[in-house]
Amino acid sequence: MVSSTMKKIDARLDNLEPGSLRHRILSALRQFRASWIELGRLLSDVAFGGDYKEWGYDDFEVYCARELGLKKPTVHKLMVSYNYMKKYEGERLRDFEESSPDSLAAPLPDYQTVELLDKVRRREQVPEEEALELHRRAFDLDGDEEPELRKELRVRLRPGLRDADAAVEANIERKRELAGILRLARELRRKISQSRAIPGGLRDRMEQCLVELEALD
């Protein structure tokens, strides 16, 4: 957050009643880098409560942009992430809200990571067990490892990735099936080569078929 924005926030804080909802939101914004939870909660309250109208703003997004300096995508991610915590990590969220961030045994993931987790959980193509594993990793990771997990989450959300996975699995199954056919064909060739009941021309055609099958491998 640039210093000019911080100065504007400080100026507004000086003119607001400490403890008021408007003051608390700006205070939470100031502490944004230390904790996004409080800001996400307050933004959700204001968005649904309509308090911004009493402060002279006709639109919630305009309020966020002009007073808080927050762009629409950031506001959306903060609110989505907070509601994800309410839905899937209610106990951890309560522990966080009832104590200071510094007293927590383990820090929470960044709001951008949580927002990606929400997208993964909503994507039908991602199996539930995979989404659960990504969630577990997100809340167990050290901060230094989190950027790599975000990259992985974005990969899982790429369009067509499931189709690519399906193509890989289909190719593996094809090779497995072909290997079984080749084993049977080679065994048949061995038996035909030892049999006097099979004409030489038929043995030659069998050999040619085996050559063609092996070319598919």
pLDDT along the chain (217 residues), means of 10: 62 90 85 75 93 94 93 94 94 76 61 94 86 91 78 81 54 75 84 82 82 77
Write down the residue that tokens 């499931």 correspond to. 162
Q: Same domain for 45 and 89?
A: yes
In a 3-state reduction of DSSP, which class is residue 152? helix
Q: Same domain for 151 and 168?
A: no
Domain of residue 120, residue span? 109-158
Q: Same domain for 21 and 94?
A: yes
The total number of structural domains in the chain stands at 3
| pTM to 2 decimal places | 0.62
Q: Looking at residue 194, what is its pLDDT?
A: 81
pLDDT digit string, tens, across residues 99-152? 654 444 456 788 999 999 999 998 877 888 989 999 999 988 765 678 888 988
Q: Looking at residue 199, what is its pLDDT?
A: 84
